[in-house]
Chains A and B, each alone.
Chain A
Amino acid sequence: MDLYAPRKVYTVGEITAEVKRSVEALGIVWIRGEISNFKHHSSGHMYFSLKDDRAQLRAAFFRNSNMYVKFRPEDGLEVMVRGRLTVYEPRGDYQVIVEYMEPVGLGSLQLAFEQLKERLRKEGLFDEARKKKLPLLPAKIGIVTSPTGAALRDMLRILERRNASLHVLVYPARVQGQGAADEIAAGVRYFNTRDDIDVIIVGRGGGSIEDLWAFNEEAVARAVCASRISIISAVGHEVDFTICDFVADLRAPTPSAAAEMVSGARDDLKATVGSLARRALQAIRLDLERRRSKLQRLAASRAFQAAPGRIRELQQRFDEAALRLGECVRRYLAAQRHRAQMLHVRLAKVDLSRIVALSARALAGCRNRLEAALLLRLEKERSRLGRAAGRLRALSPLAVLERGYAICRDARGNIMTDAARAAPGDLVAVRLAHGALDCRVQSIREDSDGSQDQGL
């Protein structure tokens, strides 16, 4: 090196300007690296370093450029940036001014989706516990969608086909492009200001991830989450999942499916109400039938009480029993008649006259059978009593006296069967068929052969 040649001396400023010129001569460059020391300044500008295993590079991503980035740059994220290199002269640092950034690996929207999903999940916005149940029978539904879109047409077609008695109110919102998310969110909030909306459906037909993007934006997620009205999210096709789907109370795979959800329950409910009404009728029928057969058993068991042993008691007990039974049956039948009338009146009110007529006929039949059974039993017992009384009469000592025999009793009232036991002068009483004689014994005659009179 020639130490004596004329020196070219730069000031710091001059050399820095020189470096800056040559660095900036690189023009627009693409750089790949991992983000570290990420700072999102309150001004909206982002400052960070890009690094790999050999070097680091300062980077600035100003607000007017970074506002179009859907995902959130963060430490550790590997990205590709497009920008211009420059030198920050006051510090002599060289840095890249980023104009565009995209993640390495995932697409930018995909990453944004995953990031927002993770963030909202951590906040608990997807928790099943905070999700509202759909009303059983929505009468008025609010739909937030494009009034000219295929989704709305599909939904209305389903409701038409279902013949669903639903009042549909459409909030017109753009469902793609800049500002769409805000319009959708506004629609959800608008329906929440009304008190006549039972369910909200937000949705649109299928499309690319860019087309569906509005439903992945935080504004929509927040509005859906804050809704006090149940929300069905119906975005795109079955395979499309959006943030809105996760936050909504219910996800419909397609807009048509959402229409099925709000109208289909009606058919199920019609079937449920019908079957409950049938079960109530069946239960009350069974109940009446049980009571009728109980009445029959009661009547039958009273009539079959064991016959009394002794004849005198028989008469009394029979009369009492017959009286009691008759009274009891009368009372029971009167009560049943009264109830049947009440039943008739009530059932007539609910247009069930057929089963009432049936019940009344059955009750009348039962009453007739019961009365017939009672009469038959009374007749049977009466003739049984007659026969028993006849036998009693045949055996009665009075009947023997009718035939001319007499009974002789001593002074103590003992029946006398042996003349030897009496003495002349004793008083004896002689019982005849009609009346009695008081006699005095004059003499005693014993049977010569000692045999008894066979006539007695």
Chain B
Amino acid sequence: MDLKIKDFESALQSLEDIVQQLESGGLTLDRALELFEEGTRLSRFCSAKLEEAERRVELLVKDAEGAWKETPFTPGPEGAQDR
């Protein structure tokens, strides 16, 4: 199967469909194995996606030209004035 995995949501949707087909049975062995292989690929993709995003906090700061620039950010101490 060379279904292109586009995004997490459609991958998860396809995975659900495949599991349902496998569970409902009535497939040839070849087809069942094909689906299983595809399902495994999808679940790996989904798991990878779940882990992949970066943990990062940035603050937008205006530079001299007035454009927004991203700079690393750590929140200030407790009891800051402005809520």
Q: Say yes or no: is A168 at the interface (Cβ < 8 Å to chain B).
A: yes
Least distance between B34 CB and chain A CB atoms (Å): 9
Q: A139-B53, A167-B54, A273-B12 in contact; A150/B80 too (CB < 8 A)?
A: yes
Contacts of A151 on B, CB cut-off 8 Å? 83
Binds B, one of A4-12, A170-178, A360-368, A409-417: A170-178
Mark contacts of A331-360 with chain B using CB atoms, 8 A cut-off: 1 yes-contact digit, 0 otherwise. Answer: 000000001001100100110100000000
Least distance between B69 CB and chain A CB atoms (Å): 11
Q: Say yes or no: is A401 at the interface (Cβ < 8 Å to chain B).
A: no
Q: Which residue of B lies closest to A279 (CB)?
A: B19
Least distance between B68 CB and chain A CB atoms (Å): 7
Query: Is A147 within 8 A of B73, CB to CB?
Result: yes
Mark contacts of A107-151 with chain B using CB atoms, 8 A cut-off: 1 yes-contact digit, 0 otherwise. Answer: 000000000000000000000000000011101100000111111
Contacts of A168 on B, CB cut-off 8 Å? 56-58
Q: Say yes or no: is A165 at the interface (Cβ < 8 Å to chain B).
A: yes
Contact of B83 among A146, A339, A352 (CB under 8 A): A146
Least distance between B47 CB and chain A CB atoms (Å): 6
Query: Is A276 within 8 A of B15, CB to CB?
Result: yes
Contacts of B25 on A, CB cut-off 8 Å? 283, 286-287, 290
Contacts of A174 on B, CB cut-off 8 Å? 82
A164, A175, A350, most chain B CB atoms within 10 A: A350
How many chain B residues sit at the interface, stated as a range, is 35 or more
Bound-state Cα–Cα, A176 to B82, Å: 9
Contacts of B68 on A, CB cut-off 8 Å? 171, 190
Contact of B33 among A170, A204, A284 (CB under 8 A): A284
Q: Say yes or no: is A15 at the interface (Cβ < 8 Å to chain B).
A: no
Contacts of A399 on B, CB cut-off 8 Å? none
Contact of B29 among A148, A167, A283, A291 (CB under 8 A): A291
Q: A284-B22, A284-B32, A346-B33 in contact; A206/B50 too (CB < 8 A)?
A: no
Mark contacts of B40-55 with chain A using CB atoms, 8 A cut-off: 1 yes-contact digit, 0 otherwise. Answer: 1101101101111111
Query: Is B22 within 8 A of A273, CB to CB?
Result: no
Query: Is B55 within 8 A of A137, CB to CB?
Result: no
Q: Say yes or no: is A20 at the interface (Cβ < 8 Å to chain B).
A: no
Query: Is A153 within 8 A of B43, CB to CB?
Result: no
Contacts of B46 on A, CB cut-off 8 Å? 269, 273
Q: Say yes or no: is B63 at the interface (Cβ < 8 Å to chain A).
A: no
Contacts of A346 on B, CB cut-off 8 Å? 33, 36-37
Contacts of B9 on A, CB cut-off 8 Å? 135-137
Q: A148-B80, A169-B60, A280-B40 in contact; A153/B75 too (CB < 8 A)?
A: yes
Q: Which residue of B lies closest to A351 (CB)?
A: B40
Contacts of B19 on A, CB cut-off 8 Å? 276, 279-280, 283
Least distance between A165 CB and chain B CB atoms (Å): 4
Bound-state Cα–Cα, A270 to B53, Å: 14
Query: Is A273 within 8 A of B50, CB to CB?
Result: yes
Query: Is B43 within 8 A of A273, CB to CB?
Result: yes
Query: Is A284 within 8 A of B36, CB to CB?
Result: yes
Query: Is A169 within 8 A of B32, CB to CB?
Result: no
Contacts of B60 on A, CB cut-off 8 Å? 169-172, 190
Query: Is B27 within 8 A of A287, CB to CB?
Result: yes
Query: Is A272 within 8 A of B58, CB to CB?
Result: no
Query: Is A169 within 8 A of B75, CB to CB?
Result: no
Contacts of A288 on B, CB cut-off 8 Å? 29
Contacts of A244 on B, CB cut-off 8 Å? none
Query: Is A152 within 8 A of B75, CB to CB?
Result: yes
Least distance between A234 CB and chain B CB atoms (Å): 12
Bound-state Cα–Cα, A190 to B7, Å: 25
Bound-state Cα–Cα, A170 to B8, Å: 25
Contacts of B65 on A, CB cut-off 8 Å? none
Contacts of A163 on B, CB cut-off 8 Å? 55
Query: Is B73 within 8 A of A146, CB to CB?
Result: no
Bound-state Cα–Cα, A168 to B82, Å: 20
Least distance between A344 CB and chain B CB atoms (Å): 11
Mark contacts of A154-194 with chain B using CB atoms, 8 A cut-off: 1 yes-contact digit, 0 otherwise. Answer: 00100000011111111110111000000000000010000
The 5 closest A-B pairs by CB, nearest first: A283-B22, A205-B83, A139-B53, A165-B53, A277-B43
Interchain residue pairs with CB less than 8 A apart (30): A146-B83, A148-B76, A153-B80, A156-B57, A165-B51, A165-B52, A165-B54, A167-B54, A167-B55, A167-B58, A168-B56, A168-B58, A169-B58, A170-B60, A171-B68, A172-B59, A172-B60, A190-B68, A204-B83, A206-B83, A211-B83, A272-B12, A273-B12, A273-B43, A280-B19, A283-B22, A283-B36, A287-B25, A339-B29, A346-B37
Known A147-B75, A153-B76; 7 more pairs at CB < 8 Å: A150-B83, A164-B55, A165-B53, A167-B54, A273-B46, A280-B19, A346-B33
**Interface residues in chain A, defined as those with a beta carbon under 8 Å from any beta carbon in chain B:** 135-137, 139-140, 146-153, 156, 163-172, 174-176, 190, 204-207, 211, 266, 269-270, 272-273, 276-277, 279-281, 283-284, 286-288, 290-291, 339, 342-343, 346, 349-350, 352
